[in-house]
Amino acid sequence: MLNISNLCASVEDKAILRQLSLEVKPGEIHAIMGPNGAGKSTLGNVLSGRPGYEATSGSVTFKGMNLLDLEPEVRAREGLFLAFQYPVEIPGVSNMELLKAAVDARRAHTGQEELSAIDFMKMAREASKAVDLDPNFLKRGVNEGFSGGEKKRNEIMQMMLMEPSLCILDETDSGLDIDALQVVARGVNAMRAENRSFIVVTHYQRLLDFIVPDYVHVLANGRIVKSGDKSLALELEAKGYSWLENEVA
């Protein structure tokens, strides 16, 4: 699904990712934890092709393609989805219209026929119910005036509708109460499939009780310094990150 090899990346000429390597196979869930400022969001931004985040060396293949050669919109149409740490508000652009345009583009790209407005509406209403979001949110501006929790649930709804191959969730759990957290986890678990993978960035072991990862990685100082299974998350919760300092250095 995804093979990152010795990736170095900079933001505003400042080196952030330093020879980061990670392989994600189809069907796997990888959790990424690590201290603030380690480069976790930068990784998601570089993978999704956000302007300003420049890969300077190394390689990334996504479903056999050279990901770094693809325009951001092509990455999305190919099935890469990034749920933002801070979802943006786009006042005046209807949530529903944005979703329909995105789903249409993805379906056209993958050779599926365009959904009728009625079928799309039905799908969108089902997705909104699955994340406990009132369907009226579909009519509002994208994230306009949504609470923090509503924005995150809206992200998960978008993710469900896009049917991505690779889902990257950047701290989708931060700021969520326990009920919203379970809604997010239920959404992810319902989407788990043999041909779909997840990278879940989180600060809290708690989320991983609900979304059980195959692997847990610690990203520190721009690279992955330790990998393990779910028990690593418990160890981090108990001991923090400082015991990894030697490996970070």
Binding site for Mg ion (CB under 5 A): 36, 40-41, 85
CB of 155 to Mg ion, least distance (A): 14
Contact 222, 236 (CB under 8 A): no
- Non-local CB neighbours of 101 within 8 Å, separated by 6+ positions: none
Q: Which two tokens stand for residue 188?
A: 């992810």
Question: With binding defined as CB under 6 A, does residue 39 bind ligand ADP?
Answer: yes
State the Cα torsion 33-34-35-36 to the nearest 10°: -60
- Rank residues 39 and 213 by Cβ distance to ligand ADP and give the closer one: 39
Q: Which is nearer to ligand ADP, 39 or 164 (CB)?
A: 39
Tell me: does residue 38 bind ligand ADP (CB under 6 A): yes
Among positions 8-37, residues that touch ligand ADP (CB under 6 A) are 11-12, 16, 34, 36-37
98 binds ligand ADP (CB under 6 A): no
Q: Could you say whether residue 156 binds ligand ADP (CB under 6 A)?
A: no
Question: Is the separation of the CB atoms in 11 and 22 below 8 Å?
Answer: no
Q: Least distance in Å: CB of 205 to ligand ADP?
A: 17
39 binds, among Mg ion, ligand ADP, none (CB under 5 to 8 A by kind): ligand ADP
127 binds, among Mg ion, ligand ADP, none (CB under 5 to 8 A by kind): none
DSSP string of 68-120, one letter each residue = GGS-HHHHHHTTEEEE-SSPPPEEEEEHHHHHHHHHHHHHHHTTPPPPPHHHH
Nearest to 34 by CA among 208, 240, 175: 240
Residue 49 near ligand ADP by CB under 6 A: no
Kindly list the residues in this chain that would bind ligand ADP in the complex (CB under 6 A): 11-12, 16, 34, 36-42, 52
